[in-house]
Every structure is written in structure tokens, then in C-alpha cells.
Amino acid sequence: MSRNAEVADVLEEYADLMEAQGDDYRPNVYRRAADNVRDHPEAIEDLVAEGPDAVQEIDGVGEGIAEHVVDYVEMGTFEELEDARDDLPVEMDVLTRVEGVGPKTVKKLYDALGVTTLDDLEAAAENGEIREVSGFGAKTEENIREGVAFARQAGERDLLGDTRPIADDVTDYLEEHDAVERVAVAGSIRRWRETNGDVDVLAASDAGQRVGDHLADWGRVGDVIETGETKTSVRVNGLRVDLRVVVGDEFGAALQYFTGSKAHNVTLRNHAIAQDKKVNEYGVFDISDVDDPDAGQRVGDLLAAESEEDVYDALGLPWIAPELREDRGEIDAAREDALPDLLAEDDLRGDLHVHTDWSDGDYSLREMVDAAVEFGHDYVCITDHAEGPGVFGDSGLSDADLREQADAIADLRDDVDADIEVLHGVEANVDADGEVGAVSDDVLADLDLVVASPHSGLGDDGGDQTDRLVAAVEHPHVDILGHPSGRLINERPAMTFDATDLAAAAADAGTALEVNANYHRLDLWGSAVRAAVEADAPIAIDTDAHSPEEYAQRTYGVHTARRGWAAAGDVLNTRDVDRLRAFLD
């Protein structure tokens, strides 16, 4: 794993600190650079090794930012960042998790009340101190108090898009060691949960201490928490990594056990007990002739332990995919041979929600289409934002803009020397009443595809939003309901809605419900996807890509859909172009 995300986070912190001090220009320059560093395909540390000029090859990274990046990678900080932290010694990233609290608000509360931490902010809100600060009031104070709890919870778990790359890189690093027989990601990351408390990795080896020491010696490790024969814990980019080492003959049982979930394992254990068997991290054991099954972990006749497939087979079950292991009926389904044939990433044929520099994307039509070709898509749909509420700045397109873009896309189709279908669509806002605004019906009718997404009025009143979303899916020109809940994981909570009612309405209307694959969203999520699957409502897995690199985030969308028991036939963009157009028509 590269250090791109780590460096991007630091650039964003510096941008926030500058904004807090009243700098109106440079913060956006640094944020754009941070986005491009995070998405850059080459490891930032490799570019740093080549020198500042190589770092400047990243779009938006000028000489000054490149020097900061080099200093940070080589020394762990840069002078201007430390000066900014000294001037405003606050937990900026934590405080700005509270909805409605931006960098400038942090500065005002620091100056007026000495707020530096989330605890300080909560105490100030609870004591009625915030409302006394100029520019604030009782309503703002109430919103902050309510937002602190969400921010605190969000801070306890990290995004899958941040943890999974580290987990994969740890396994790649350990695989190189000659004492490691097998290694795998475990825990909630292996189940592709949207957030994770830590990184769990399992290795098979007869030399556990050597393997643990090898991990502790890794150049990416910041702190070594403990090392040992069976468990080593370290911190990488601030994330705790727990490595467990087991003997090769018990690897499968340990992998099943440490993948979880806890609820799945409890139900599996009860399933085993009903057969006079015992299952744990050491294997599956026949205990029918054992007087005291609790006399030891390995009591009984060993039936299976080496592979997960063997473990489930010894219990009379087919292997259950990790994404399904949440105790939501998967063991009963396995017993009845009724598990779904889950969607695979290669089943997707295209992306139906993509942005360009016609609205808030960073790349041209041609660049996004060429990248889709390179990624292997059969089709791609350009869905830049329509003007209206919730659209960043003035980037939304008018009716006239959309007609002009239609001509540009028509010209592009003639010019692209590749076998790809380029569709023209739009992403329009769903307002508080469920109206799809800012685009005339005749323009909507002429487009290949319409994505309608909530961007404004995102449940500020805490009320149920089901009727609003149902109205959108029933709109005659809407093909896909984009990121239905409007959530940003760890930043903004999801709107409240009834997933079953929404799925039923979408099925009746023939409107697809989106699984937005951006790992900050993953919206819909597993249980809501399952409601759609059970209602026979179509699903679209889209990346909402604003840059070529973001096409790769479809991985997170696919595994999120798998958590909802989705098969290839449930997903709109597994269809070929002709069947897709038939759906859209």
C-alpha cells in the first residue's frame, strides 16, 4: 500500500488550518492537490524518491506543495504545517466531523471558548456556552450537541476504503517471508463491512515469533504495540493491525473463526452442537463420545481444520461467502442449499454514473471515456450534475448546457477509436418533496439515462424520507435513484427511510436503486440491497467517478451488493448494451 492517502490527509489538514485563519484561496488549491495525490496510481513515496519534479507530475501539485510533500514523506512533517498547528492547536479532523462545524467555526470556538477537542465542544454545548458566542445561537448549539455523538461514534471506526488497502498490503508483505505458509485478511474487513475498528490478518507458520518480528520491522509500522509467538500488534498510518499466527493444519478453522461475525459464529456453533459436534478456532470435532466437551478446545475427534471449505463441509454446509456471515439467515439458506450465486466483479459491464469537468469532475469527456475503455467497460454514461440545490458552486448544467453536451458526446462517439457505448445522462437533484428539479421534461426525455439523487434537505428535521424517495423513483423519466440516503460515512448520517417500501416502489416503477460504490458512501448498504433483491427491484452499481482512478472503486460497490445477497441478474449494469437500452427505453 502506498502512502498516498496519508499524505492527502495531511494536505487536507493544512488546508483546513489555513481556511480557519481566513485564507480564502490556498485551501482549495491544497484540497484539489490532496484529491489528486490520493487518486494517483503511483505511490507518492516512489515519486518523492525521484525528487520534487516527479511529484509535480501529479495534476494540481505545484512547486510549493511538492516541497511540502517531499518534506512530509522524508521527515514526517513540514515547517508550515507545524506553524499552523501551533497557531491553532485543535483536533481539526475530529472537530470537523461534527456536521455544521467547519474550520472557521473551529477557530471561532477556539478563540472564544478554548475548544480544542471533541470533549471540549460537547461540554461547551451542554453548558449553553456556544449560544453566547457571536454568530451562534440556540439552534446551532443544539445541532452541534446532537452532532457530537455521531462524530464520536464515527471516530471509533475507519472507512473500508482506508483499511482494506492496508490489510492487503500487510498480507503482501508477509507473503514474502519464507516462514509464512499462508496468509489472509480476516475480521470485518474480510466481510467487507463499510467501517472497521482495526485490521485483522491471519498467517500460518511454525515460526510465529519470526513472523511477528518481521511485521514489527516493516518500514510502514509507526508503533509496535506487542510481539509474540501467536499475536503481534502494530500501528500503520494510525490503524491498529493485529496479526495472529497459527499452525498450517488449523488455518482454515482459525480463518473462519476470526472472520466472524460473532453472531454468525454463535449460530454456526449451535448448528454444530445439534449434530454432536463442536466448532472453534482449532477445528470441527466429533464430541458424540466425549463425556465432557468443555474439557478442552481440542476435545473430540478432529473432523476438519485445514480449510474453510472443510470446516463448513464437516458441518454439512456449503462454504458461505464472508460477505454473508452476519447471521441474517445464511446458515439456514446454506442448510437448504439456497445460498445465492453472488455477483462477481467481472460481471459488471459498465458504469452508469460518471462526472466530467462539465460539472464538478476534474477530467474531460474524452479523458473519462478513454479511462473507461482502459478499465474494460463496454459502456459508460456521463451524468454531470444539473443545476439546482445541493450542487457545489455553479457547476450544475442548465437545459442549454445539456443540449450542448449532447452534441459534444455525439462528436466524441464518432471520434473514439474503441468499442464502447457512450451514453448521455444527467444527475438531477431530488428536492424535499420528491420533485426532480432544474431540468425540463423534454430534455430529460431526450437523455439516455437520468439519475436522480438527494443532495439538499438531507433529513435535517430527522423525519422519515420514504415518501420523498418513492416520489423520485416513480418519476416517469428517472432511471436510477442515486445514493438514496445521502449519507457520507463517518461524516453525515443517512436519511431515514423504509428500505422495503422503497424497494417495492422501485420494482413497480422499473427504476433501479443505486449502490454508490464510492467508499465514503456505499449507499445503498447491505441490508437495503437485500430488501431490493427480495422485492425484485433492479440495482445499479456505480462509482460516481469524478476521476479515472475512481472507476476502481467499483470493487467496494460489488462487495457491498454481495452483502445484500445480490446475484448478477439483480444488477442492471451486468447487462449487455442491447439489454441495457431495452431497460432504459
HEC sequence for 141-152 = HHHHHHHHHHHH
What are the strands, taking DSSP E only, across 51-198? 158-159, 182-186, 195-196
120 pLDDT above the threshold of 70 = yes
264 pLDDT above the threshold of 80 = yes
Sign (positive or negative) of CA dihedral 91, 94, 95, 100: positive
Query: Any idea which fold 158-246 has?
Result: Beta Polymerase; domain 2 (3.30.460)
447 within 8 A of 421, measured Cβ to Cβ: no
473 within 8 A of 506, measured Cβ to Cβ: yes
pLDDT digits (tens, 9 = 90+) for 321-352: 999 999 999 999 999 999 999 999 999 999 99
User: Burial level of 441, CB count in 10 A (0-12/13-18/19+)?
Assistant: exposed
Q: What does the pLDDT read at residue 427?
A: 97
Class of domain 345-584: alpha beta
Of 292-306, 537-551, 554-568, the poorest mean pLDDT is in: 292-306
Kindly report whether the global pTM for this prediction surpasses the value 0.85. Answer: no
159 within 8 A of 520, measured Cβ to Cβ: yes
Task: List Cα–Cα distances, 152 to 5, 24, 173, 233, 490, in angstroms.
Answer: 22, 29, 33, 24, 9
Distance CA 387, CA 401 (A): 10
Q: CB under 8 Å to 505, separation ≥6 — which residues? A: 470, 473, 474
Helix axis angle for 499-509 and 526-535, nearest 10°, is: 40
* Mean per-residue pLDDT over the chain, rounded: 93
Task: List Cα–Cα distances, 467 to 322, 432, 473, 546, in angstroms.
Answer: 34, 10, 10, 30
Identify which of 232, 228, 256, 252 has the alpha carbon closest to the alpha carbon of residue 242.
Answer: 232
Would you give the DSSP letter of residue 494? P
Query: Is 4-154 a domain of CATH 1.10.150.110?
Result: yes
Query: Any idea which fold 252-335 has?
Result: Beta Polymerase; domain 3 (3.30.210)
Domain boundaries, the chain: 4-154, 158-246, 252-335, 345-584
Pairing of strands 539-542, 182-186: unpaired
391 within 8 A of 429, measured Cβ to Cβ: yes
pLDDT digits (tens, 9 = 90+) for 52-62: 899 998 988 99
577 within 8 A of 380, measured Cβ to Cβ: no
